[in-house]
Amino acid sequence: MSPARSHRARKDLAPRKTGEKTATTGRKTSAGHRVGLLEAMLRIRRFEERCVELYSATKIRGFVHLYIGEEAVAVGVNEALTPEDAVVATYREHGHALARGITPEAVMAEMYGRTTGCSGGRGGSMHLFDASRRFYGGNAIVAGGLPLAAGLALADRMREQNRVTCCFFGDGAFAEGEFHETANLAALWRLPLLLVCENNLYAMGTALERHEAQTDLALRAASYGMVAWAVDGMDVEAVEQAARRAAEAIRAGAGPYFLELRTYRFRAHSMYDPDRYRDKAEVERWKDRDPVNRLLDRMRADGDPVDETLAGIERRVAAEVDHAVEAAEQAPEEPVEHLLRYVTSPPAEAS
C-alpha cells in the first residue's frame, strides 16, 4: 500500500507479509473454545457500552477511552499468555484488564473511584492495575509502558524465568522515542518481549499517514532485527494464533516479536472527543468487520449452535455488568483523612 494513499480510501487493511509469513487462521478452533472467545469479547463490549451510559449520567468522571471495536486484540492476545506472563497496557485498557481476568466488579469500582477498585480507587479509567495477575497497569503517557515492559522482560531474563512480557501500545507510539529505544534494546538483548501494536489508524485525531512517513509498522519494527507480523486485528482467531506462535517462539529463546494488529475503534478517541476527523462512511465500513459478528458468522458457517449459545452468553454478561455497577455504587469512597496515603514514602527509621 502506498504511503501517500488517503486514509479515507482505505476500505480494508488485510494482513500482509512482513519478515515472515503473516499469521492466519490456519487451524480450526474447537466450538467450545470459540464460545469462550465470543463470551470474552461480549463481556468487554457490554461493559464498555455501560460505561457510556454511566459517563453520560456523570457517575463516571475523568477521561474514558472506550475499547469498542478492538475486542479481538485483547482477547486473542491474552489467550496466548499464561498467568505467569506480564501485561503492560495503554490508557485504553478496560478490555485488556477484563481479558486478563480482572473482574468487572474490580474494574467498575475503579471507574467509580471506590476503594474496592483494582487500584484502590486512585487510578480510574486510565490506571487499572493488578499485581496479583501480573497486570502492570494502564499508562496515560503515550508509549510510556514500553520501557517498563522492557524492564520486566529484562528482569525475567536475568532471573532465568521462562516468562513473556506483553506490551500493548497504539500506532501513535511510533512517533515517540520510547518505542525505538525499547525495540532496539529488546532486539539487542534478545528480551522475552511481545510488542503488540494496536494500529487503529489514528493517534488521537491524527491519521496514521499524517504522522508516519512509512505506514507499514511491521516493516519498520522488522528493521530492528526482530520478527514482525501484520495481522488482521478484527479476527480474534487470527490474533490468537499469531500471538500463540510468537509467545512460543519467545519462550524458546527467539528474542522479541512484534505484532501489528490492524484494528479500528468504533467510538471516538475519548468521551470528550467530538470525532470530526473521520468520515462516517469509513467508520461504517469498519463496523462491517465487527470482530464479534465475524466470529458469529464463522461459527454459523461451521454449524455451531450459535443462537442459543449467544442468548446464554448475553444473559450471563448482562448479569455480570449489572452486578459490577451495583457493587461499585455500594462500595465505600476513600476517607478524606486517607487521601495523602502513598503520596510520599514514610520516613526511614533511624538506625
pLDDT at 6: 32
pTM of the model: 0.89
HSE-CB at 118 with a 13 A cutoff on CA atoms is 30
Spatial separation of the C-alpha atoms in residues 35 and 43, rounded to whole Å: 12
- How far from 287 is each of 183, 234, 245, 340, CA to CA, in Å? 32, 10, 28, 45
Q: According to the model, what pLDDT value does residue 351 have? A: 59
Strands 202-203 and 206-207: antiparallel
pLDDT tens track, the chain, 351 positions: 333 333 333 333 433 334 333 444 444 578 899 999 999 999 999 999 999 999 999 999 999 999 999 999 999 999 999 999 999 999 999 999 999 999 999 999 999 999 999 999 999 999 999 999 999 989 999 999 999 999 999 999 999 999 999 999 999 999 999 999 999 999 999 999 999 999 999 999 999 999 999 999 999 999 999 999 999 999 999 999 999 999 999 999 999 999 999 999 999 999 988 888 999 999 999 999 999 999 999 999 999 889 889 999 999 999 999 999 999 999 999 999 988 888 888 877 765
Give the residue ranges of DSSP H helices in the chain. 31-56, 71-79, 94-100, 104-112, 145-158, 177-189, 217-222, 236-251, 280-287, 291-301, 306-330
Query: How do 86-88 and 206-207 pair as beta strands?
Result: unpaired
- The contacts of residue 138 (CB under 8 Å, 6+ apart) are 89, 90, 91, 92, 93, 96, 97, 123, 125, 126, 127, 128, 129
Cα–Cα dist 86/191, whole Å? 13
CB 238 within 8 Å of CB 295: no
Judge contact between 114 and 107, C-beta under 8 A.
no
What is the identity of the amino acid at 335?
P
CA distances from 108 to 38, 239, 298, 329 (A): 21, 27, 32, 9
Specify the pLDDT at position 350. 66
Burial 38-50 (b: 16+ CB within 10 A, else e): bbbbbbbbbbbeb
Asked whether the beta carbons of 156 and 192 are under 8 A apart, the reply is: yes
Which residue, among 4, 13, 29, 60, has the nearest Cα to 232 in the 3D structure?
13
The angle subtended at Cα 88 by Cα 84 and Cα 89, nearest 5°, is: 135
